[in-house]
Structure 1
Amino acid sequence: MSTPRSEHPHDGFALAPPPGCPAHAQGADPGIARLFGREAEEDPAALYERLRAQHGPVAPVLLHGDLPAWLVLGHRENLDVMRTPSLFSRDSRRWRMFQEGRVAPDSPLGPTVGWQPICVFADGAEHERLRGAVTDSLDQVDRRGVRRYVVRHTKQLVEAFALSGEADLIPQYAEKLPMLVMTQLLGMPDRYGPHLVSACLDLMKGSATALASNDFLVDTLRELVQQKKTTPGADFATWLTGHSSHLTDDEVVEHLRLVLVAANETTVNLIANTLRMVLTDPRFRANLAGGHMTLPDALEQVLWDAPPLSVVPGRWATGDTVLGGQQIKQGDMLLLGLAAGNADPEIRGDLSVPVHGNRSHLAFSSGPHECPGRDIGRAIAEAGIDTLLAELPGLELRVPEEELSLSTSWVSTRVNTLPVKFPARQVPAMVSAEPHRPVMPHPSESAAAHDAPHESPRRGRARRTWWRSLLGRR
């Protein structure tokens, strides 16, 4: 358990610590790992276990620019940090590296942890005001309606490839479904879904049109907010706009963007990793076919073994304290190691043992910043995979499992291709009930948009696209 500590003889994690300090020589000690290095990208699980063996439940690491941080590896220690905002703040302006001017203006950490006026960077009363508006609005979402949207869009996506007898379930399904459903929950017309799918994928990849894609997303949400103020509906955007917390239009837009993009990326990861397990793991493949295991069990196992986010930056120490036997200094950054905490040998002695019915994983965090949309994301994944398997009986991989490639970054790992085959079948044409109306093209659909990032007068907005670095792929 974390305990306040007023002073200690070491300078925490200064960039040039004295000899004997674990961070001496900025990583010359083999125990100081760089989270952006080859080891972290090729086998993050092995890196976590090496750090745990060398340092215990809290380990020193180096970020871009050899900036120091603490990676929390223990399950209990992660919960301590998550549930004690008085000691571990979400306000990144407390980071000593920012205060001392050690973060370069072009550092990739800037978009990741640069402070913004949204609930994920707030504490106390301001956090309660902003998050309260988000959670109250999400609580009004009809869970049965979520399933209806998922089933409808899954069938539409399957229709596009069912006749061919083969598909890649990541780009043709997993990367599309969550955004299509989320646009419905936000109260957007059907015609916006495909455009926002492409724009958000463009954002995540950090392509040449990413800034223009961000402008498209913001403009779309700003238009939506104005529409809901004059024509309200039974949807998330309306409830957020009219919430008693009286969010400004800018605050509504920023939180709509936060919910839309963060929910999309994490749910894509959950669907992709669960589909991989269902199609490759003999425990689940056999059990699902034999009816001995439910899909919720498979999802639970994935949330333990391959959470949608592996690492979440960050928390910042409000004062000197001790965590996991390490001396933490005021202003130090801590990274929540969700995947490492889930594999903590103190709570999981044998990782091969199923964890059915055990929801004490860290996949959705905990404490005041626990993921507010965890039930919705899980419902989209569960209903989507269930419908997909029903629509495509006989679904199986068309390549050996070892040929599947992974997208691995310091914050997440997921399979990025799932080539499958199935008995080809004819599907009935589905007609949208919504009459076609023009919608502005998203940047990645227009060749002219490739110049947009250079021409846009709002280029400065790139600083606020924090999820592009936080959740982006390499």
Structure 2
Amino acid sequence: MTTPPLACLAHTAGRPLPLSGITASTSLPDTYAQLWDEWGPVARVELEPGVNAWLVMGHQELRALVRNERVFSRDARNWADWINGVVKPDSGLGPMMFYRDNVIGADGPKHRRLRRPLDAALAAVDHRQVRRAVERTCRERIEVFRHRGHADLVGEYSQSVALLALAEMSGLNPQEGQDLLAALAKLFGSADDSQEGNQQFEAILAQLIHARRAAPGKDLATALVQHPDLRSHSEILQSLVVLISAGQQTLSAWISRALWLMLTDPRFESRLRGGRLGIDDALDDVLWRDPPMTHFPARYALMDTELGGRRIARGDALILGLAAANADPRIHPAGMEREIGNRSHLGWSAGPHRCPAETPARLIARTAVEQALHGLPGIRLTGTESTAPSPWMRHLASLPVGFTPTTSPTT
């Protein structure tokens, strides 16, 4: 279905705007301001024709939502539109919103049990080893195109760097990492071979688990295999699936958005050309203004309740408006221009389901941005960046750049 232009929807007072149209807006702050004027901090939105949800845009309201598991569950089996058959089994909402028997779909004690192994595994990551591995991966990707003088830093760089870095952290060798990249390309492509890609993805990880049972290593897979809170092969496998599949998309989006800022925003424009702000500042700016997950699904009301002045019915779906909450005018009375260096944003979400991978993710993203800026002399944007349509993310589909061709790696 083609989403009508936002201008065609804006005048229809009271009608929920399509979430995909909101995400695709050319001016997200203006769109959120429009929603605030009409609805306040909790707005009614359309997920697909006939399926509505609440978009939680208020900073205070979003924090209340994610911290109250007694009222708002992560378990999609509580979703009224699913229970009543309004949402069909083949709905495009399925991959992001249907129930999964893993840490993402669990609440309470089960969630805490499944979360502990992830926290422990990520806390044990050797940051120096990760940095060296990411630098090597970045140089290998740049080697493919540095002689050409042009490249797409999404398709040819950020997507593969993010996944290959996560694969190596998990314990996969370079060829297995490439196989995983090919499998995920099919899976996320949502074409006829997407199920095949999912099967290949899980098969590679299953083989890794078996290998680490026989020969433990110093990697995420070994840490998960050995953790007593994971009670079955399925729980270990699904923990790896969450780490890699969720991390790849968001990392790639973060890297490419930060590169775009460094190349286009006068505050940054790469320190190679005298910009006053650096890579970490760009990474933080992205997390405030355009976090990798613009809208994050979902919580489901376990009872009739109220949030942000709106009556929420039992079984209603609530979407976390991470970008909107970051821009809440009640916490930014003077605008967002002074937020450089402030990391109190909701780019990582909040509450029990807050992303556990902040530190390694920042290390990977910073290294990837740094390697591209320093490894491609004279780098500049050469075309218009494009975005991929999604209700959930505003990630770049392409980032065309030009640079001075080189026949040997720069130092």
The alignment's TM-score, normalised by the length of structure 2, stands at: 0.92
Q: Paired residue for 1:427? A: 408
Q: Using the alignment, how far apart are the partners of 1:79 and 1:305 within structure 2? A: 18
Structure 1 residues 29-38 or 74-83, which shifts more? 29-38
Q: Which residue of the other structure, out of 158, 165, 181, is the alignment partner of 1:197?
A: 181
Is 2:156 the partner of 1:172?
Answer: yes
Q: Using the alignment, how far apart are the partners of 1:358 and 1:139 within structure 2? A: 23
Q: Paired residue for 2:373? A: 389
Q: Which residue of the other structure, out of 395, 409, 414, is the alignment partner of 2:390?
A: 409
Shift of 1:380: 0.7
The 1:76–1:39 alpha-carbon spacing in structure 2 relative to 1, beyond 3 Å, is closer
Shift of 1:39: 5.5
Shift of 1:351: 4.3
Q: Deviations over 1:381-405 (max 9, x none)?
A: 1011112212123211123xxx322
Q: Which residue of the other structure, out of 339, 355, 373, is the alignment partner of 1:355?
A: 339
Q: Paired residue for 1:94? A: 78
Q: Using the alignment, how far apart are the partners of 2:199 and 2:365 within structure 1? A: 28
Percent identity of the aligned residues?
35
Shift of 1:90: 0.8
Q: Which residue of the other structure, out of 142, 146, 155, is the alignment partner of 2:139?
A: 155
The 1:107–1:74 alpha-carbon spacing in structure 2 relative to 1, beyond 3 Å, is same
Q: Which residue of the other structure, out of 146, 153, 178, is the alignment partner of 2:130?
A: 146
Q: Using the alignment, how far apart are the partners of 1:39 and 1:58 within structure 2? A: 14
In the TM superposition, what are the counterparts of 1:230-241 in structure 2 within 5 Å?
A: 230-241=214-225
Shift of 1:35: 2.5
Q: Paired residue for 1:226? A: 210
Shift of 1:101: 2.9
Q: Using the alignment, how far apart are the partners of 1:102 and 1:326 within structure 2? A: 22
The 1:125–1:33 alpha-carbon spacing in structure 2 relative to 1, beyond 3 Å, is same
Shift of 1:48: 2.4
Contact between 2:267 and 2:275, CA under 8 Å: does it hold in 1?
no
Q: Deviations over 1:158-215 (max 9, x none)?
A: 1111112221111111111011111110101111122222221221121221111111
Is 2:234 the partner of 1:253?
Answer: no
| Unpaired stretches in structure 1, ≥5 consecutive residues | 1-26, 430-474
In the TM superposition, what are the counterparts of 1:221-370 in structure 2 within 5 Å?
A: 221-285=205-269, 289-290=273-274, 292-351=276-335, 353-370=337-354
Contact between 2:25 and 2:31, CA under 8 Å: does it hold in 1?
no
The 1:166–1:28 alpha-carbon spacing in structure 2 relative to 1, beyond 3 Å, is closer
* Count of residue pairs brought into register by the alignment: 400
Shift of 1:330: 2.0
The 1:168–1:331 alpha-carbon spacing in structure 2 relative to 1, beyond 3 Å, is same
Q: Paired residue for 1:78? A: 62
Q: Using the alignment, how far apart are the partners of 1:385 and 1:40 within structure 2? A: 25
In the TM superposition, what are the counterparts of 1:109-120 in structure 2 within 5 Å?
A: 109-120=93-104
| Unpaired stretches in structure 2, ≥5 consecutive residues | 1-9
Query: Does the residue aligned with 2:267 lie in a helix, a strand or coil?
Result: helix
The 1:398–1:286 alpha-carbon spacing in structure 2 relative to 1, beyond 3 Å, is same
Contact between 1:272 and 1:416, CA under 8 Å: does it hold in 2?
no
The 1:410–1:137 alpha-carbon spacing in structure 2 relative to 1, beyond 3 Å, is same
The 1:214–1:259 alpha-carbon spacing in structure 2 relative to 1, beyond 3 Å, is same
Q: Which residue of the other structure, out of 159, 166, 170, is the alignment partner of 1:186?
A: 170
Shift of 1:38: 4.4
Query: Does the residue aligned with 2:320 lie in a helix, a strand or coil?
Result: strand
The alignment's TM-score, normalised by the length of structure 1, stands at: 0.80
Q: Using the alignment, how far apart are the partners of 1:242 and 1:228 within structure 2? A: 9
Shift of 1:114: 1.7
Q: Deviations over 1:279-302 (max 9, x none)?
A: 111121176633632211111001
Is 2:24 the partner of 1:41?
Answer: yes
Q: Using the alignment, how far apart are the partners of 1:287 and 1:170 within structure 2? A: 21
Q: Deviations over 1:410-435 (max 9, x none)?
A: 10002222221212112269xxxxxx
Contact between 2:263 and 2:270, CA under 8 Å: does it hold in 1?
no
Q: Using the alignment, how far apart are the partners of 1:80 and 1:125 within structure 2? A: 19
Contact between 1:389 and 1:395, CA under 8 Å: does it hold in 2?
yes
Q: Using the alignment, how far apart are the partners of 1:415 and 1:209 within structure 2? A: 23
Contact between 1:63 and 1:69, CA under 8 Å: does it hold in 2?
yes
Q: Using the alignment, how far apart are the partners of 2:165 and 2:337 within structure 1? A: 34
Q: Deviations over 1:320-376 (max 9, x none)?
A: 222111111222111000111111111223546141111111110011000011222
Q: Deviations over 1:4-24 (max 9, x none)?
A: xxxxxxxxxxxxxxxxxxxxx
Q: Using the alignment, how far apart are the partners of 2:230 and 2:270 within structure 1? A: 52
The 1:39–1:83 alpha-carbon spacing in structure 2 relative to 1, beyond 3 Å, is closer
